[in-house]
Structure 1
């Protein structure tokens, strides 16, 4: 992993922490999941998992730590792993595929984070069902953030790939 790649991950982590803090008043709407998906798509699964750990830890320093922090890291790391695997395919992937994955990730994140309640209380389904509206906010927010952030960030990542990796990323 070169210095430029680490710098991109650090900048994305800062952007994700600021974005999460800025949108904290809207329940479950934040750009973190989308940034992790974009990072995994362009930089690979390891970079996305590093971004997931950094973002969760740093943002929870401001927003509050708890048992859910571990589950947030697990959920976002798995989402980063999935997006990294999607990015490894050297075929043309339209934006709507990433938007669909972002929407799916909102529900997947809620499913994983709800496991923290099961560990504490032994009850899962009622807690998960009560959180479905918030998971829907997260999913819709992910889709909107993907439509907004992907075009701008893809230019940066394509420039990085052209300059440092020397592999061609299929255009959208």
Structure 2
């Protein structure tokens, strides 16, 4: 996990960009806490996807990983935390690559991708659960772990789909606008040689 954070930090971030990352991670973390009573509903995934989509893979990864770490100060830290950090970090990275290779993607296609990530994120968590808590480590016990969480993963996928359909274009417009202002603000103050 440390190596991935180091990779994400290797971009030359300004103080404004660091503040932006902290704010996005905080919103994603706080957005998770009230939904803890609804198993599988994770608006954090939506916000992490939007962050990575607009600001790139490093920001997407840091927002996702940090949101998991910070929200778990409220919901409980444990051996699942690194798996959640990895899962949401990968969600953020993948969104950046989706934008790069499919820049005109529709909200409907993003809804499908959000739904798929609902299951993939769950599978990452299940793998961690299986490794840490299940004995013996057999294919049968792995499949049992995956089957036990199916409805939670389905709820996560459905909530991602709904959030993408309802809010993705508006949130992307707001974040794109902020990115443009951030870029212009930064580039307007560069020193010419």
CA contact 1:98–1:146 (8 Å) conserved in 2: yes
Q: Alpha carbon RMSD of aligned pairs, Å?
A: 1.7
Max Rg structure: 2
2:143 to 112, 125, 128: 125
Secondary structure of 1:24 counterpart: helix
1:103 and 2:121 matched: no
Indicate how the Cα distance of structure 1 residues 12 and 161 shifts in structure 2: closer, same or farther if over 3 A, else same: closer
Match of 1:147 in 2: 165
Match of 1:42 in 2: 54
1:16-95 matched pairs, under 5 angstroms? 16-89=28-101, 91-95=103-107
Shift of 1:124: 1.2
Shift of 1:41: 0.5
Distance in 1, matches of 2:163 and 2:145, equals: 27
Any gaps of 5 or more consecutive residues in structure 1? 167-172
Distance in 2, matches of 1:90 and 1:125, equals: 34
Moved more, 140-149 or 156-165: 156-165
Pairs aligned (count): 166
Shift of 1:81: 1.4
Once the two structures are superposed, what CA deviation does each residue of 1:14-45 show, in whole Å capped at 9, x if it has no partner? Answer: 22122111111111102111111111110001
Moved more, 122-131 or 55-64: 122-131
Please, what TM-score do these two structures have when normalized by structure 2?
0.79
Any gaps of 5 or more consecutive residues in structure 2? 1-12, 185-193
Indicate how the Cα distance of structure 1 residues 131 and 151 shifts in structure 2: closer, same or farther if over 3 A, else same: same
Distance in 2, matches of 1:117 and 1:21, equals: 21
Shift of 1:90: 6.3
Shift of 1:134: 0.6
Shift of 1:127: 0.9
Distance in 2, matches of 1:66 and 1:7, equals: 27
Distance in 2, matches of 1:111 and 1:132, equals: 9
Shift of 1:3: 2.9
Once the two structures are superposed, what CA deviation does each residue of 1:43-77 show, in whole Å capped at 9, x if it has no partner? Answer: 00110110112101110011011111111111111
Runs of 4 or more, structure 1, over 4 Å off, are none
